[in-house]
Amino acid sequence: MSADPLHRAGMPQRSKTSLPPSGSAASAIEVRRSARRRRTVSAYREGDRTVVLIPARMSEAEEQRWVNVMLDKLAAQESRRALGDGELAERAERLSAQYFDGRARPASVRWVTNQNTRWGSCTPSEGSIRLSHRLQGMPEYVVDYVLVHELAHLLVPGHGPDFWRLLEAYPRTERARGYLEGVVAAGRLPYLAGARSE
């Protein structure tokens, strides 16, 4: 995951730049293949570009899989850096502009520690959005989904068809919902003291 100065300075066997999947933070992805790299894959941000370093022998399918894995890892790493309430508000403003033409204007956006059964909440009459502290450390696209979800409530209260149509604008809605459902399901798994993993 960390920048690898040895490989960054060396000449890659093949380099390819492409647009990232929807919802990722970087504007471009550059894949650099190296004959010296045998098994490891790493990635780092370089300005507005994400550079992914892979072994030269990897197939196109393996390359695509690893690019997705590394984008998710970088996003999770960046999310672990705790955003302050001010940064969270700026992020909400950016998402509102991107997905709702700036129509969703929260009066406040902040982290809270008293939401253990929901990921976020919105009070449209006050224009306030609150996100559970449990989201901190989750991938960026998941936090963005919860923000977009709560921003949509500023425009359409409730979870009717108009609300879900608004959320169609966010391209990673289903993936983020699946991630959150997995977290909830994992939290319900019984812990068996002394159980051995097979």
**pLDDT by residue (tens digit) across 35-75?**
888 888 988 877 668 889 999 999 999 999 998 888 888 87
Give 125: exposed, middle or buried? Use CB within 10 Å, 0-12, 13-18, 19+: exposed
**Greater model confidence, 120 or 188:** 120
Q: Is a pLDDT exceeding 80 seen at residue 13? A: no
Q: Residue 170's pLDDT band (boundaries 50, 70, 90)?
A: very high
Task: Enter the pTM of the model.
Answer: 0.58
**Greater model confidence, 156 or 13:** 156
The residues near 131 (Cβ < 8 Å, ≥ 6 apart) are: 88, 109, 110, 111, 112, 115, 119, 120, 143, 146, 147, 150
List the structure tokens of 164. Answer: 């879900």
Identity of the amino acid at 82: A
List the structure tokens of 119. Answer: 């990921």
Q: State the average pLDDT over residues 13-35.
A: 61
